Chains A and B, each alone.
Chain A
């Protein structure tokens, strides 16, 4: 049984008789029997391995058996495809009107030529199909050609030729000199501008009706063409061909001849590439050059074809997306018969790829009013409303008559403090909240001063000592200032929660010095303090919930029967309220409103009522804006949900 070796040459099977063995093979066998080992010598062990890559053996190092083999080796027979191609090159002899091709048959074609060839091939296919349907006999090995489902050669003349004469006439019009594509659309046929001009080589299948067929149609046709497979992988590294649809088939010659297209194997090495991939692509530059080189035909079909060529198809995947992997863009092929569902799938895949590669674009605000403009409008409205009471002294509401439980408890606890006793004030708030906390705590501080308490001021925030000085000095005017010896600023207590624990455990060791650098515990305000229990009570002023909770937790159980008071900002008051309910706090003031409550319960004149009126006006405006915004959001959500649901229905339908 003959078999093909890698070079394509056929050789006999090993079981064939010896008399059929060629002479050159006989000599090898005889030589191999004489020499030991039987296999060709490879030289000393490691000799070949030590040789550098690419280094060839010296001629004198060639063994004798190989020299003889070189002498006796018969020339390599031509590849059998050569004989198959030869008749293609001699097609002009079969087709008288087909000019002789001096150039190799593997050269490429121009757009118009390919268009004409494709149209002719289409006609041939349809003609064969018609004949096969009518044929009483059918040649062996020529099954009905499977119709490609994914692509096909489009022709502007859908009707099959009715007779071989008409077919021959159509083929004769494919002369490359004339460049007159019959009626085919070049855009539908090919876009490869690299294709060079080449005479048309056509092979026609023999049909059962041999009497009517011309002699050249009796040329044996290759075996059954296999279904066309599409390879979407990039081409070989010699010349990268991105997204080329390589059409591979064992009988590519047959297919190429059937379609009037040269086989891929016949292409020169430097131009060897997928032929169909070249058909599927278009190089605009070369195309324009070809268009300039080619004269216009009389019918003006080239103009129409050029106009169609100028319509650049929609890119399947943006070039920027594929740039890291491929260097050529992918385009919709005019030859692809793509249905609407397939286009939808392509778009879906494209969107998926884009979503994977590109970051999601920021969602554009659909509001007609920009965020900055809205913010500016709200800000200006707030400023106007809040400045009005400040400028005119207009009071929006009267003072509150009800008091919160925390304020009442605070008042009770402060009144119960013994006079001239040491009292600890903790100022753990940031400068941003100084305006609120000063207004909330100033009444309590003033009440403590009325008790003539010896105040020790400490802070776990670095900016706390300065804010504490500002707070205490702003309670009273200079003429009624609190005696300095009654206040000791212990300064900054480092360490956070650990520092709190240290201070509660041993105040003198934790803070030995005042913030002025003097020894703290010989000062009149602190000289009677040796432990935390020596303080008559503790007032914590903070806007931080965590800090306030940490002080409560660390002081828990260490100050028996001593009041623990707290002034917090309005944002922390809800979270501190449970400690008041659980009696861990003996007084709680939350924010500016409850600070004003404390002044009122102390029957003191209201402090800065104008600022309080401004605050109330601002809160009123904010409340109205929140309500209006909620109503707008409610209706907007309702309408948007309806519109979105209608959109979904539209997509579903």
Chain B
């Protein structure tokens, strides 16, 4: 193992160890130094990637090397829009950049809405209905799953129904059936959030175990 490799591993091990000092406090100076170091390294890397993989090949190369087959006319459009975006930095002229912002937001909204409608809502609804398809055969386990899913879906949707009935002399309140289903929906929501929380803990523990394993491995390398 070369000295450069040993130094690199040692540096990573030290930084990982210092990060653990977060237990003492987030204002602990070594922790702040290492955290800022990571943030700076990530930002610098992202900027490098953006310059050498986005700006240079997409905005500069088409004009410098037109023989490569890039269309200059096509490259002018993003160049102009990018130039307009620079006006966002000047408060008095920020409205000039609204054109580019509008293009970005509008295009993204169209893409996202279309994908969500066709890729999630319709397909998930179709999948939920398919569970009750009699052509697939009557299976008790699948039917129970389907009913449970149907109940969970309906009750969760009812929970977010905040309408009520106004009776004279009384406060506005939900109907009894709505209250019952809303309570059931709250139960399903709690189960879902609990599962997500467990997933977060699992991810965190996996990362911690991997970093601790790295530190132990580095120490064992030192010893050997």
The residues of A with any CB-CB pair to B shorter than 8 Å are: 372, 375-376, 379-380, 382-383, 386-387, 390-391, 431-433, 435-436, 438-439, 462-463, 465-466, 491-492, 494, 496-498, 500-501, 512-513, 515, 517, 519, 543, 549-550, 552-557, 569-575, 578, 581-584, 590-593, 608, 610-612, 614-615, 618-619, 622
Contact = CB atoms under 8 A, between A and B. Distances in A.
A196 to B, nearest CB: 60
B207 interface: yes
Given A498-B107, A569-B203, 6 more contacts: A497-B111, A512-B70, A549-B120, A592-B209, A611-B212, A611-B213
Contact of B54 (A494, A497, A591, A608): A494
A622 B209 contact: no
B80 interface: no
A569 B199 contact: yes
Contacts of A390: 212-213, 216
A-B CB proximity, top 5 nearest: A553-B119, A435-B210, A553-B115, A582-B127, A570-B202
A492 B53 contact: yes
B45 A463 contact: yes
Contacts of B209: 386, 435, 592, 611-612, 614-615, 618
B161 interface: no
Contacts of A618: 205, 208-209
Contact of A554 (B111, B201, B205): B111
B15 to A, nearest CB: 12
A553 B49 contact: no
Contacts of A465: 49, 53
A550 B216 contact: no
Interface of B: 20, 23-25, 42, 45-46, 49-50, 52-54, 57, 68, 70, 104, 107-108, 111-112, 115-116, 118-120, 123-124, 126-127, 192, 195-196, 198-203, 205-213, 216
Interface-centre pick from B25, B46, B108, B205 (highest chain A CB count, 10 A): B205
Contacts of B68: 519
B206 A591 contact: yes
A622 B23 contact: no
Contacts of A391: 216
Contacts of B52: 517
Contacts of A554: 111, 115, 119
A491 B53 contact: yes
A547 to B, nearest CB: 12
Given A439-B206, A439-B210, A570-B206, A591 B199 contact: yes
Given A433-B203, A436-B210, A496 B108 contact: yes
B129 to A, nearest CB: 11
B119 A619 contact: no
Contacts of A552: 119-120
B203 A543 contact: yes
Given A465-B49, A570-B199, A436 B206 contact: yes
Nearest to A466: B45
Contacts of B127: 578, 581-583
28 contacts: A379-B23, A383-B20, A387-B212, A390-B216, A432-B207, A435-B206, A436-B210, A439-B210, A463-B46, A465-B49, A494-B53, A497-B115, A498-B107, A498-B111, A512-B57, A513-B53, A552-B119, A553-B115, A555-B119, A556-B115, A557-B119, A569-B199, A571-B202, A573-B199, A574-B195, A592-B209, A611-B213, A614-B213
B70 to A, nearest CB: 8
B113 to A, nearest CB: 10
Which of the listed residues A500, A570, A610, A619 has the most CB atoms from chain B within 10 Å of its own CB?
A: A570
Contact of B123 (A386, A492, A582): A582
Contacts of B123: 556, 582, 584
Given A433-B203, A571-B202, A611 B210 contact: yes
Majority SS at the chain A contact face: helix
B213 A550 contact: no
A475 B205 CA distance: 22
Contacts of A612: 209
A611 B202 CA distance: 13
A571 B213 contact: no
A500 B115 CA distance: 11
B54 A492 contact: yes
A383 B52 CA distance: 41
A584 B126 CA distance: 12
A569 B118 CA distance: 25
Nearest to B205: A618
A555 to B, nearest CB: 8
B23 A375 contact: yes
Contacts of A519: 68
Contacts of B206: 435-436, 439, 569-570, 591-592, 615
Contacts of A513: 53, 57
Contact of A517 (B20, B57, B120): B57
A399 to B, nearest CB: 16
Given A386-B208, A574-B192, A619 B201 contact: yes
A582 B124 CA distance: 6
Nearest to A578: B124
B49 A492 contact: yes
Contacts of B201: 619, 622
Given A498-B111, A556-B115, A436 B203 contact: yes
A612 B212 CA distance: 11
Nearest to B52: A517
Contacts of B54: 492, 494
A582 to B, nearest CB: 3
Contacts of A553: 112, 115-116, 118-120
A519 B65 CA distance: 13
Contacts of B119: 549, 552-557, 584
Contact of B118 (A500, A557, A610): A557
A608 B212 CA distance: 12
Contacts of A584: 119, 123
B5 to A, nearest CB: 13
Contacts of A608: 213
A386 B212 CA distance: 8
A379 B208 CA distance: 11
Nearest to B104: A498
Contacts of A433: 203, 207
A582 B203 CA distance: 25
Contacts of A557: 118-119
